[in-house]
Amino acid sequence: MIDYIKGNLVEARDALERLINNSAQLGNIEASASLLIEALERGRRVISCGNGGSMCDAMHLAEELSGRFRDDRPAMAAVAISDPSYISCVANDYGYEQVFARFVQGNGSAEDILFAISTSGNSPSVVLAAQAARAKGMRVIGLTGRPHSQLELHADICICTSAGQYADRVQELHIKVIHILIELVERALQPKNYENESPRV
């Protein structure tokens, strides 16, 4: 059993090391942070979506922005598409693939951000949401785990954290990316929260 425990930790460490050394994806993270900062600075909103564990990550992004991340500061405009009554309504009437797209059509505005999460990058409901967002003049940030995905084709920026055979390693990197993005947004919009931080080694 210890071998499996160590094997999981080593695989996660190796995946993180690959991301640390991937200059293209680091650049995509930086560019995504800039899009989020610009939108929130201009009073726009972040709408996030994903299925299963990716929905949990979408909710985590929204609650950290609209609530707080580390220290107190004003709320930021962010919402995850996660209301079960809404999702079951649309899935029943229009099919599950439309659950995120229909929300975007009804609630998204030009220059808002859709933060779309799919470990495969090919989830139909997420891809359709990205298409709906682009049709409304929104900017789309994709977060995936496989290169050359359908979501990447419809995103302004796509962060791809390739991390092995299964989605769990990908999701572990996704939450790290989300935390980094939130920190970068806070550093730009609430710099006082970071004035007294201890130096990082």
* pLDDT in 10s for each residue of the chain, 201 residues: 999 999 999 999 999 999 999 999 999 999 999 999 999 999 999 999 999 999 999 999 999 999 999 999 999 999 999 999 999 999 999 999 999 999 999 999 999 999 999 999 999 999 999 999 999 999 999 999 999 999 999 999 999 998 777 788 999 999 999 999 999 999 999 999 998 887 776
Neighbour tally for 137: CB within 10 Å: 11
Report, in this order, helix, strand and coil percent for the chain, each rounded to 5.
Answer: 60, 10, 30
Tokens for 13?
Answer: 């460490």
Q: Where are the domains of the chain?
A: 2-191
Q: What is the pTM of this model?
A: 0.95
Distance CA(60)–CA(53), nearest Å, equals 11
What number does CATH give the domain 2-191? 3.40.50.10490
